[in-house]
Every structure is written in structure tokens, then in C-alpha cells.
Structure 1
Amino acid sequence: MIGLCLGLSGVVWAQLAVADFTLAWNHTIEKVRWEEDYRVSEQGLVLGEARVKGNGAGMEIPEHARLENGSWHYQRQVPPLQPLKLGRTPQAGDYQLCFDGRCRAMSYWLGPPTARQPTVELWSCGLS
């Protein structure tokens, strides 16, 4: 069975038995929520729909996006990500992973973001 691994440079810090999840965060300057839906596959993390609550500095809404329930919904065509690299610092706040109807800060599995470890990677992996 495959699932989601969190760590860095192939070193697993946490494993989650999920087939799909939403990655959510607040933009560091504009404080606007972003969400991206991913499916875990053998090839990597497949990006599905993305949503953003508004635009601002460095946050242009794609032309093909549609406004629905207060968020702009859109899809980008990118190959599966293996790994997905994220910057994670105390100043930026934490990402949330949402699955099974619940969202939790990444710190639930990894501890709080730290300046000495400013990066985390997510990838599909075999669960042990």
C-alpha cells in the first residue's frame, strides 16, 4: 500500500496512510488561504483542484478560474510531484494537511517549524 511520507532527502519523519489530501496554508503577506488537492499515486503526488480566497502580492488568479462559494477554483496541469518541496519557517506559519474530513497543522506530526530546518518534502511512498 502506498501513502504519504513527510521528511527530507528521502529520510522519513512521518508516514500517513492516505490516498488523497488537501494541503492548505495562509499566504505570509496577504493572509489569504490557499488550498491544493492531491492524490497519492505510484508516480508521485498528483495535483487536482486548487483554491484561493483572493488575490494580492504574487497571488494572481488564473484566467480560467471560477468563483465559487467565496474562493477561486482552478486546475494546473503539472506532472506528478515526487517530492513536493515546501518552505516551512516559524515566520510563515505552518501548513495544514486535511484528510478524512479533518485538518491538522503539519506540526502535529513533525513538531513546530524551526529556522534550522526550514524545508520539508512530501512524497508518495510504500507504507511500513
Structure 2
Amino acid sequence: MSLGLAGVCLALVTAAGATSGSVVFVPVLSFTLAWTHSIEKVRWEEDYVVRPGKTPGAAPVLEAVAARVRGSGAGMEPPPDARLRHGWYEYTPTLRHPAELRLTRSGFTADYDWCTGGRCRSMAGLLPSNGGVTVLTACRSAPP
């Protein structure tokens, strides 16, 4: 039995918290989410990998492997273990295995950047925003 490819699923969420519309599958095993803080105008980046589940047939899981911020500002100081390297405060996220990422995508700020293979593009290229929340989870594609 084919289990499908591992990757991430992106879904828009309604104001009531339900998934709206279709789910977009992205076949990727590592990626970076990046954004610019809306007030401080400071760039943040978080690196993730998609790992196999702990048991055969288990769903894949997200793992946060690294994060960095280009500076600091009011209410967004780097964590105490961050190290300044080449203008970035680099650190390891404390929440290593999030079940999901809830990404608020407002029409009043720039969208998240989706980065793979050293290239970044707007997340809207994968899934247009409805101005609300996009849920990102590790998943498998539907078997062919």
C-alpha cells in the first residue's frame, strides 16, 4: 500500500476555526518561513524539516531546527540563548515539534515568504490568503 509523499499541507481557516476550501499539498522535506515584523520592520526566519512519524505508517511530523532574527525591538527580543552571527541573532526554537503552525496572513502586511532550495517567494504563490489564518501541518499526499 502506498502511503504517498511526505510534505506539508496548507489550509485556510474560517473565522469559526473550520478549514475552508481545499487543502494544498506541497511536496517538501525542508523549508524556511520568513516574514518582516509589521511594526519594527525586522526580518524573522524559521527553518523546518518534515520527519517520518515515530512508528511505521504514522503521520509525518514537523521539526523546528533553527531560527534567526535580523535585530531586536520592543517586545521581540531574541531569546537568551541566541548568538549574534553575521547580523542575525541565531537560536534553536524551544517548541521543536509543533503539531501545526497557525500563520496569520493579514491584507495589511506583507505575506510570509516561503523559501526552499535557497529561493524565496510569497506564500500567496502556494495558497492565496483570505486575510485570515493559514494552518500548516506535516502530511502525506493522497496515494496515486
Would you call these one fold, judging by a TM-score over 0.5?
yes
- 1:50 corresponds in structure 2 to 67
Rg (Cα) greater in structure: 2
RMSD of aligned residue pairs (Cα, Å): 1.7
Distance in 2 (CA, whole Å) between partners of 1:28 and 1:59 is 12
- 1:98 corresponds in structure 2 to 115
Local SS of the residue matching 1:107 = helix
Change (3 A) 1:64 1:101: same
Count of residues in correspondence between the two structures: 125
Local SS of the residue matching 2:126 = helix
Normalised by the size of structure 1, how large is the TM-score? 0.88
Matched, 1:37 2:47: yes
Distance in 1 (CA, whole Å) between partners of 2:112 and 2:98 is 17
Q: Which runs of 5+ in 2 are unaligned?
A: 13-17, 54-59
Identify, as 1 or 2, the structure richer in strand. Answer: 1
Q: Which amino acid aligns with 1:22?
A: T
Quick one: percent identity of the two aligned structures? 42
Distance in 1 (CA, whole Å) between partners of 2:76 and 2:137 is 25
- 1:64 corresponds in structure 2 to 81
- 1:7 corresponds in structure 2 to 11
Q: Which runs of 5+ in 1 are unaligned?
A: none
Q: Which amino acid aligns with 1:2?
A: A
Matched, 1:28 2:32: no
Normalised by the size of structure 2, how large is the TM-score? 0.79
Q: For 1:98-120, what per-residue CA distance to the aligned partner results, in whole angstroms no more than 9, with x for missing partners?
A: 01121110110112x343xx100
